[in-house]
């Protein structure tokens, strides 16, 4: 008989790993896939302070704890990049980039999250990953004792700016609106002596010849004053883009590329479920991703049972 999984979970961030835990505990035959190390965006998060019961711990530690939990329960995991999902009557085929490997499954949970959005201004492509970074926890140490600019004013921008202010000489925050993050985090950032905030600014370009030298921006206020801040590095946090290209032909995405789900995490295709940041939702956090994963696994298990 052909080897068929009950549930294949695409993406091993908090949503996918929680889905795996709930699915295997519902006696499902589960396969968890990720193109990178398990953990998703948690791996790039310096400190997590708002995951219930966990106190303050590093994102990487939380990622390891969650993955260990899946392994203690016997969840099968593989490093694979999913590029297509074909929907048959009761059996779906998940196709991966690596050697065009395919897996047969009765249900699929899509938990592929998001990647950072880019500004698309002059100089960005030239200095990407060589002066401009999207991950302070990965690249911040390179700028110890140097000057950096953080672009954005939301939770990620403010949290990462706080982290950078602890290691860099000067941190300038350039944001299109005012700081919109958690008020406590904004207060903490503003109280740091080496931090300057430039609100209501539109980034025009990244300057530099041999290396990144600065950020030029213009006020969105009536005066439209231009300003150039010199720096050694830039960290961009201007929003997220859904990792959903592989699922476009399923007809389950909204205009922004996020997966439309109902309250039970069902998409409009029977047997295909969504969970976490990839779905249309208001609050993208670890705790909400985990909650989505639990609901999606519960719904997927009910769906698989209904086929028997």
Ligand X SMILES: Cc1cc2nc3c(=O)[nH]c(=O)nc-3n(C[C@H](O)[C@H](O)[C@H](O)COP(=O)(O)OP(=O)(O)OC[C@H]3O[C@@H](n4cnc5c(N)ncnc54)[C@H](O)[C@@H]3O)c2cc1C
Residues that bind ligand X (CB under 6 A): 10-16, 33-36, 40-42, 44-45, 48, 50-51, 81-82, 111-114, 156, 159-160, 243, 246, 276-278, 284-287, 289
Decide whether 214 or 297 has the Cβ nearer to ligand X: 297
User: CB atoms < 10 A from the CB of 118, how many?
Assistant: 15
- Name the minimum Å distance from CB 222 to ligand X: 33
CB nearer to ligand X: pick between 97 and 262 = 97
Residue 113 vs 153, nearer CB to ligand X: 113
For the CB of residue 18, give the shortest distance to ligand X in the complex, in Å. Answer: 8
**Rounded to an integer, what distance in angstroms lies between the CA atom of residue 141 and that of residue 146?**
10
Closest by Cα among 110, 93, 111, 89 to 102 = 93
Residue 136 CB neighbour total at 10 angstroms: 28
Give the residue from 154, 160, 155 showing the smallest Cα distance to 176: 154
Minimum CB–partner distance for residue 167 and ligand X (Å): 16
CB of 55 to ligand X, least distance (A): 12
CB-based contact 267:261 (threshold 8 Å): yes
Closest CB to ligand X among residues 10, 234: 10
- Nearest distance in Å: CB 266, ligand X: 17
CA distance 21 to 19: 5
User: Residue 207 Cβ, how far from ligand X at the closest point, in Å?
Assistant: 25
Q: Please tell me the distance from the alpha carbon of residue 260 to that of residue 51, in angstroms, as a whole number.
A: 25
Nearer Cβ to ligand X (33/186)? 33
- Closer by beta carbon to ligand X, 104 or else 117: 117
Instruction: Indicate the burial class of 283 (C-beta count within 10 angstroms; 0-12, 13-18, 19 or more).
Output: exposed
Gap between the Cα atoms of 95 and 77, Å rounded: 15
Region of 265 (left: φ > 0; alpha: ψ -120 to 50; beta: rest) is left
Cβ proximity to ligand X, 27 vs 37, nearer residue = 37
In the complex, the smallest distance separating the C-beta of residue 195 from ligand X, rounded to whole angstroms, is 17
Structure tokens at 300: 């997927």
């Amino acid at each position: 008989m052909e080897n068929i999984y009950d549930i294949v979970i695409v993406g091993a961030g908090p949503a996918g790993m929680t889905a795996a835990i709930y699915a295997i505990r519902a006696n499902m035959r589960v396969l968890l896939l990720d193109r990178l190390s398990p953990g998703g965006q948690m791996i790039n998060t310096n400190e997590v302070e708002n995951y219930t019961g966990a106190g303050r711990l590093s994102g990487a530690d939380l990622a390891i704890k969650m993955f260990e939990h899946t392994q203690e329960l016997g969840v099968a995991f593989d490093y694979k990049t999913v590029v297509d999902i074909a929907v048959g009557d009761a059996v779906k085929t998940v196709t991966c980039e690596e050697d065009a490997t395919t897996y047969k499954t009765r249900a699929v949970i899509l938990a592929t999250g998001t990647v950072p959005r880019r500004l698309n201004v002059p100089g960005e492509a030239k200095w990407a990953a060589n002066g401009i970074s999207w991950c302070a926890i990965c690249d911040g140490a390179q700028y110890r004792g140097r000057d950096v600019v953080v672009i954005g004013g939301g939770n990620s921008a403010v949290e990462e700016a706080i982290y950078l202010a602890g290691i860099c000489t000067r941190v300038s925050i350039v944001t299109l609106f005012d700081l919109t993050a958690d008020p406590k985090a904004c207060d903490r950032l503003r109280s740091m002596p080496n931090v300057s905030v430039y609100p209501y600014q539109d980034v025009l370009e990244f300057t530099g010849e041999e290396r990144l030298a600065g950020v030029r921006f213009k006020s969105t206020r009536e005066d439209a004053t231009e300003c150039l801040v010199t720096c050694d590095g830039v960290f961009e946090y201007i929003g997220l883009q859904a990792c959903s290209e592989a699922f476009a032909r399923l007809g389950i995405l909204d205009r922004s590329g996020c997966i439309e789900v109902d309250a039970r995490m069902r998409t409009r295709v029977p047997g295909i479920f969504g969970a976490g940041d990839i779905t249309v939702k208001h609050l993208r956090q670890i705790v909400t991703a985990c909650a989505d994963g639990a609901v999606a696994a519960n719904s997927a298990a009910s769906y698989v049972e209904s086929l028997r």
